[in-house]
Amino acid sequence: MTKSPLPQLRKGEKILVAFSAGLDSRMLLELLLDEQKSWELELALFHLDHALRPTSAEEALFAEEIARKKGLRIFVERHDVESYCRERGLGIEEGARNLRYERLRAIKKKIGFDTIATGHHLDDNVETFFLNLIRGSGLPGLRGMEVRREDLYRPLLSIRKKELEAMAEERGIAFVVDESNLEGDYTRNRLRLDILPKMEEDLSPALYRTIEKTMERIKREDDLLSELTDKIYLELEKPWKLSVLRDLHEAILYRLLLRWMGDVRGTTRDISAHTLERIVGTIHRGRGITEIEGYHFLASQGTLYFMDSLQNSSEGYHELSLGKNVLLGMCLVLEETDTPVYGDDVLSIPKEMVKGALHLRTRRAGDRFTPSGMEGTKKLKDYLMDEKVPLPERDKVPLICDDETIYWIVGYRKAEIPRNTKGKYLVLHQSEVVPKEDNS
């Protein structure tokens, strides 16, 4: 078998082609058909009519005619993309992309195929590089698209669009033209039509190949950092000690946090560099709580916890019973003992002090607190202000209380509690964090 001009092709593969009938997907199909017999490929096409342009129905018919001439199965669907985006609060570009992959994967599963092939080329990849650079992306965003990633196959990533145009002209290939690609309304199109051509003309005629090489180097270095991060992630004992985290190089620390969030949330989508900086700030402060996308990072008594969002009950009250209490993402073990236990993650209260039941809640108007080592009470509001707790997070700080007294501002400070008293003690251990399962 001779080597294919399409990289990373797999013999006997069943490939569903994302087929708009534009230049990119037309040439992708032609190149796959060139290799179909020798590589024993099974091909099918999927065309999504976005219903965004008056010509979209004609383009769908054109795609069907090509499939008929090539003897291939084609699946054509028409969807109201504008309604889809409006219902989900998405922009047209993002929503159309999400819908396209959603339907591609549904069809792929239905017909039992292995892979989805798309016509992304080098120009697309360079545009993505600059878009991610503008957005402040780290290395993962600057490595660009890859030929193989999960079930996606993008074999044209090393080919310029103008090279595809030349191939189409040489072969006499007809294709449709998406008018929206000729408009400068979107950021990507401004890059495509104005900024990058000027850079190529004025700064470097080899711009696209230079960026291609840069993405290759970034990918190698990103892979190395990912390997180091995975190794440390598996070795670190949870819950993580703040002192250990502070000793790590920040490049690894940021990746560890992102990896942890990905494992618990099921995705790292919408986690920005600013988000990670806030968590790192909490780690260096050594105490506090930072809310991130419905979850909380809690620095408490030398330890970092990652817990569920502190969703209050209707009364903002969660009573603690003897034994194990799983509340608000924390696991709290309450015991009645003859002797107190002291430590970073344990609270001991003389039983005779407790009025009513111990419970976990968030703050209420008028709350006061007696910090350990101090006399007299202080407004909880003032204490949180002094600790520079961000205003949106003050209502989410967990408190261990009875009906009258706050004993522990979890993540910050315990109250002044008498020691070595006679009688029984209520001992509360903060032993672990129970991660929330992502069922999406």
What's the angle, vertex CA 29, arms to CA 9 and CA 112, rounded to 5? 65
Which CATH architecture is the domain 220-307 placed in?
Answer: Up-down Bundle (1.20)
Q: What is the mean pLDDT of each run of 10 residues along the chain (440 residues)?
A: 77 96 96 96 95 85 96 95 87 87 96 97 95 86 93 96 96 84 66 93 95 96 95 88 93 90 76 82 82 74 71 59 79 88 86 88 87 86 83 79 89 84 87 43
Of 243, 279, 247, give the one whose Cα is nearest residue 260. 279
Burial of 228 (0-12, 13-18, 19+ CB in 10 A): middle
Spatial CB neighbours of 303, under 8 Å, sequence gap ≥ 6: 239, 240, 241, 242, 344, 345
pLDDT attached to residue 431 = 64
* CA–centroid distance for 235 within its chain: 23
pLDDT attached to residue 74 = 97
CATH code for the domain defined by 317-433: 3.50.40.10
Q: Is 125 within 8 Å of 157 (Cβ atoms)?
A: yes
Of 346, 248, 343, 239, give the one whose Cα is nearest residue 297. 239
| Helix, strand or coil, per DSSP, at residue 377 | coil
Task: Report CA-CA distances (Å) from 323 to 37, 206, 344.
Answer: 67, 68, 19
Q: Is 311 within 8 Å of 356 (Cβ atoms)?
A: no
385 vs 401: CA distance, rounded Å: 20
| Helix, strand or coil, per DSSP, at residue 396 | coil
pLDDT in tens, 266-325: 777 777 777 788 889 889 888 777 777 667 787 877 888 776 655 443 345 788 888 888
Domain parsing of the chain, residue ranges: 14-213, 220-307, 317-433
pLDDT attached to residue 127 = 94
pLDDT attached to residue 436 = 39
What's the angle, vertex CA 353, arms to CA 351 and CA 359, rounded to 5? 75
Share of the chain above pLDDT 70, in %: 90
DSSP letter (8 states) at residue 435 = P
Mean pLDDT of the chain: 86
Task: Characterise 388 by phi-psi region: left (phi > 0), alpha (psi -120 to 50), beta (else).
Answer: left
Of 188, 123, 108, give the one whose Cα is nearest residue 159. 123
Q: CB-hemisphere CA count at 13 Å for 127?
A: 19
308 vs 297: CA distance, rounded Å: 9
DSSP code string of 194-247:
IIHHHHHHHT-TTHHHHHHHHHHHHHHHHHHHHHHHHHHHHHSPSSEEHHHHHH
Of 398, 323, 329, give the one whose Cα is nearest residue 359. 398
DSSP code string of 79-101:
--HHHHHHHHT--HHHHHHHHHH
pLDDT attached to residue 65 = 96
Spatial CB neighbours of 55, under 8 Å, sequence gap ≥ 6: 176, 179
75 vs 107: CA distance, rounded Å: 8
DSSP-assigned beta bridge partners for residue 308: 295
Q: What is the pTM of this model?
A: 0.69
Buried-state track 264-283, b at ≥16 Cβ within 10 A, e below 16: bbeeeeebeeebbebbbebb
Name the strands in the sheet holding 413-414, side by side, starting at the edge strand that comes first in the sequence: 317-319, 359-361, 399-401, 406-409, 413-414
φ, ψ of residue 238 to 5 degrees: the values are: -100, 150
119 vs 106: CA distance, rounded Å: 19
| Helix, strand or coil, per DSSP, at residue 333 | strand
Q: Which CATH superfamily is domain 14-213 in?
A: HUPs (3.40.50.620)
pLDDT attached to residue 184 = 45
371 vs 407: CA distance, rounded Å: 9
369 vs 294: CA distance, rounded Å: 27
Per 3-state DSSP, the chain is made up of helix, strand and coil in percentages (nearest 5) of 40, 20, 35
Task: Report CA-CA distances (Å) from 93 to 21, 132, 181, 182, 416.
Answer: 18, 15, 11, 15, 57
